Every structure is written in C-alpha cells, then in structure tokens.
Amino acid sequence: MKKYLSYFSKGEWALWCGSAALILLSHCLFGQGDSLTLIASLVGVTSLLFSAKGNPLGQLLMVFFSLMYGVISYRRAYYGEMITYLGMTMPMAIVALIAWLRHPFQGNRSEVAVNRIRRWEWLLLIPLTAAVTAAFYFILAWCGTAQLPLSTISVTTSFLAVYLTFRRSPWYALAYAANDVVLIGLWTLAAAQQREFVSVVVCFAAFLAGDLYGLVCWRRMARRQAQLR
C-alpha cells in the first residue's frame, strides 16, 4: 500500500485532494443529488493526475469519463459536447491508450515515452483542425446545439487535445487547458439557468488546474528522458 501511496508526490496528493474537496462541496451545495456528475468529475480529475505522470491508466479513466460526460451533455442539449466526447474523445482515448502502452519509456509501462512533433506535422495539423471544425459546425447546427459558437470552439480545442495526446506531445495538456476554459464558459451559461450545473463548472475549473500541472510535468519529463536516452 505504501508503494502505491508514494507513487504520487505530496504536491500531487494535495492537488487531487483539493480538487476532490471542491467537487464534493459543489455537489453538496448545487448537485441536487446528481451522482453521475459527481462520479464523472472524480474520475476525470484522477485521470488527469495519472496522465500528468505519463501513465496509460489516465487514458483508460478518460474513456469512462467520456461516457459519463456524454450523458451529462445530452441532458443539457449540448450535443456538440456529447458528439465530441462520445464520437472523438472516447475513441481517441482508446487509441492513445494503445499508443502509450506500445511506447513505454525504457520498458517502464507506467511512463510513456515523450514524442517530439516535427514542424511538417504541425503545419498539417492546422488545415486538418480547420476542416474538423467546419464539419462539426454544420453538424451541430443541424442538431440544434445550444450555444453553437462556444460548442464549435470546444470541438476545435478537443480535437487538438486528443490528437496531441495520441501523438504523445507535451502540448496536449495546453490544448486541454484551452478546452477547459471554453467549457467553464459553456457550463457557466448553463448554470445561470440551472444551479445544478455549478458543480460542472467547478469540475472543469479543477480540470484546468490539473491540465496546467500536466503541462509542467510533461515538459519536465521530456527533458529528463532526453538526458537518459
């Protein structure tokens, strides 16, 4: 047991406990008995902590989070979020899980080998992201998605995040952080009409902290791995 507890640093435990405490508090104050949102939020922040350490378990937990978040989004008619997470984030989390397991750092399956994306791939990613964004805009408009502009931007940031996660780039965390900011705005609008969604806003605020920490960890991990190769 001590071995598993020591896997995370004191700072990481503090980050997780602080995030979980805020989520639990917001659920008690505004959740109105919505256990699915509570469970999804706790699974999500746990996923981010494992992902920050390059552990493939983070991607497995993201699969479960995506399923639950898809249901939550459907309830609010945020069809963009539902389609994005069920049709893109969840499948890509599965692909990323396989990629991370296939590329362990020096045989250590609890730490993925960090990849450096070349310039040509970044240039290719720009039109690819634009095409995905344009396609989803018309799909979401046809579905009658609430808050269409923000929902479309969420698709853009989500696509960048899942692609960079699959490619094992440290910048995946920055893309997810940008997505968190968009989702905080999206669910704040929902919370203005239904207080129960305040807990979702708090969830993504905790995600923002986790993703920014993930960026720091991956940059540090990339430097360490480069020295050991």
Is pLDDT of 1 > 60? no
Q: What is the rounded CA–CA span in Å between residue 33 and residue 49?
A: 26
Q: Which two tokens stand for residue 178?
A: 């940008």
Containing 39, the helix (H) or strand (E) segment is helix 35-52
Report pLDDT for 181: 96
User: Mean pLDDT across the stretch 72-93?
Assistant: 84
User: Mean pLDDT across the stretch 34-59?
Assistant: 92
Q: What is the residue-averaged pLDDT of the chain?
A: 90
Rg, Å, the chain Cα set: 17
Q: Which two tokens stand for residue 203?
A: 């969830």
- In the structure, what pLDDT confidence band is assigned to residue 72 with cuts at 50, 70 and 90? confident
Q: Which two tokens stand for residue 20?
A: 């979980």
Report pLDDT for 142: 86
- In the structure, what pLDDT confidence band is assigned to residue 102 with cuts at 50, 70 and 90? very high
Looking at per-residue pLDDT, the higher value among 3 and 73 belongs to 73
Give 122-148 pLDDT, tens digit per residue.
999 999 999 999 998 998 888 777 788
* Under 8 Å between Cβ of 41 and 206: yes
Q: Which two tokens stand for residue 46?
A: 């746990």
Classify each residue of 134-152 as buried b or exposed e, where b means 16 or more C-beta atoms within 10 Å of its C-beta: eebbebbeeeebbbeebbb
Q: State the DSSP code for 113.
A: P
C-alpha distances (whole Å) from 80 to each of 12, 15, 41, 126, 152 are 32, 30, 19, 21, 7
The full DSSP string for 176-223 is HHHHHHHHHHHHHHHHTT-GGGHHHHHHHHHHHHHHHHHHHHHHHHHH
Is pLDDT of 29 > 90? no
E-strand stretches of the chain: 104-105, 108-112
Give 160-214 pLDDT, tens digit per residue.
999 999 999 999 999 999 999 999 998 899 888 888 788 889 989 999 999 999 9
Of the ranges 29-38, 115-124, 214-223, which one carries the lowest mean pLDDT score? 29-38
- In the structure, what pLDDT confidence band is assigned to residue 65 with cuts at 50, 70 and 90? very high
Report pLDDT for 59: 95
Q: pTM for the full model?
A: 0.91
Report pLDDT for 80: 74
